[in-house]
Amino acid sequence: MSAIVDRGALLSVEHLETHFSTRSGLVRAVDDVSFSVPRGGVLGLVGESGSGKSMTAYSIMRLLDAPGRIAGGRIMFKGQDLLALTDEQMRCLRGNRIAMIFQDPMMTLNPVLRIDTQMTETILAHRRVGRSAAREEARAALERVGISSPEQRLRAYPHQFSGGMRQRVAIAIAMLNRPDLIICDEPTTALDVTTQAQILGEMQALCRESGAALIWITHDLAVVAGLADEICVMRNGKIVESGSTARVLLEPQHPYTRQLLDAVPSRHRPGERLSAPSMQVDGRHA
Ligand SMILES: Nc1ncnc2c1ncn2[C@@H]1O[C@H](COP(=O)(O)OP(=O)(O)OP(=O)(O)O)[C@@H](O)[C@H]1O
Ligand SMILES: [Mg+2]
């Protein structure tokens, strides 16, 4: 189960602490967070705004900006502690073995570069292939994420795409080097409901096909209900509940998880709760 640290897992986050020193004091944005993700597994990281989901993701990617800093813990990925790597070693992993998809695709896309340039550079930065082979891979990647006339779209700039298409391009870029792990930080929240559902389905299919593990971050339990194998519920920087998706949805142990479930429109609710187990104040469940 996710909250138990599994050293054999693809990723295990162990007692992670991410702090911000602010004028009004120390903010524990991530406070003793532990979970693991097996190869090919899908983890939903759920919680309200400000609960620490993005800072957990940024910590794993080592993309925190000052005054944020990782104050403790370990992030084991394929047997090595990411926190012990040099910046250069981390750059080699990012966009290669681990990729992140942000809420705003322009975090990934460079507005002044054509899509083909951005895509081929992503490949060439990590692999020794010829430029034309890289371009062909880029074309195929656009096709896989449902972009029609990919050959023509390769020559376009990001502003020539709609929001949903831009996010698809960002997904295509994230998948280019067949990463072992993809972290999606609310990548569909800004999109209309139909596009959200399409992109979610496509992402799921792509990960299954490539064997990539996925961490899907959202404030919406309904989004991960059909996607994740396991769910971690975050609040105030802590994981208050974790477990298999069915267990968390059908038998939520923590009152906060129940609150999140109550916020889900009933048509999405996965069924009647089977029981209401006694509440545990510290909220930690194996
Ligand atoms: N630059 C900063 N300075 C101080 N504190 C910060 C800063 N950035 C984040 N934090 C703290 O980290 C906490 C967690 O932020 P985070 O962005 O991870 O939340 P989140 O769960 O991703 O929320 P959202 O759903 O709104 O994206 C915030 O509540 C805030 O207290
Ligand atoms: Mg966030």
Task: Please write the tens of the pLDDT for every residue from 91-101.
Answer: 999 999 999 99
CA pair distance 198, 187, nearest whole angstrom: 12
Return the ligand 1 atom nearest residue 22 CA: 4
- 122-176 tens-digit pLDDT: 999 999 999 999 999 999 999 999 999 999 999 999 999 999 999 999 999 999 9
Residues with a CB atom less than 6 Å from ligand 1: 20, 22, 27, 29, 47, 49-55, 219
Domain span at 135: 98-176
Query: Which distant-in-sequence residues (6+ apart) come within 8 Å of 61 by Cβ?
Result: 94, 98, 100, 183
Q: Within a domain: residue 112?
A: yes
Q: DSSP 3-state assignment of 100?
A: strand
Average pLDDT over residues 271-278: 38
- 168-214 tens-digit pLDDT: 999 999 999 999 999 999 999 888 888 888 888 888 999 999 999 99
Q: DSSP 3-state assignment of 197?
A: helix
Q: Within a domain: residue 106?
A: yes
Q: What domain count does the chain have?
A: 1
Atom 24 (ligand 1): residue with closest C-alpha?
49
Average pLDDT over residues 55-64: 97
Does pLDDT of 218 surpass 80?
Answer: yes
CA pair distance 237, 235, nearest whole angstrom: 5
In the reported structure, the alpha carbon of residue 239 is separated from the centroid of ligand 2 by a whole-number distance in angstroms of: 15
Atom 28 (ligand 1): residue with closest C-alpha?
50
What's the pTM?
0.90
Q: What amino acid occupies position 176? A: L
Atom 4 (ligand 1): residue with closest C-alpha?
20
Q: Within a domain: residue 125?
A: yes
In the reported structure, the alpha carbon of residue 53 is separated from the centroid of ligand 1 by a whole-number distance in angstroms of: 8
- 1-30 tens-digit pLDDT: 445 567 679 999 999 999 999 999 999 999
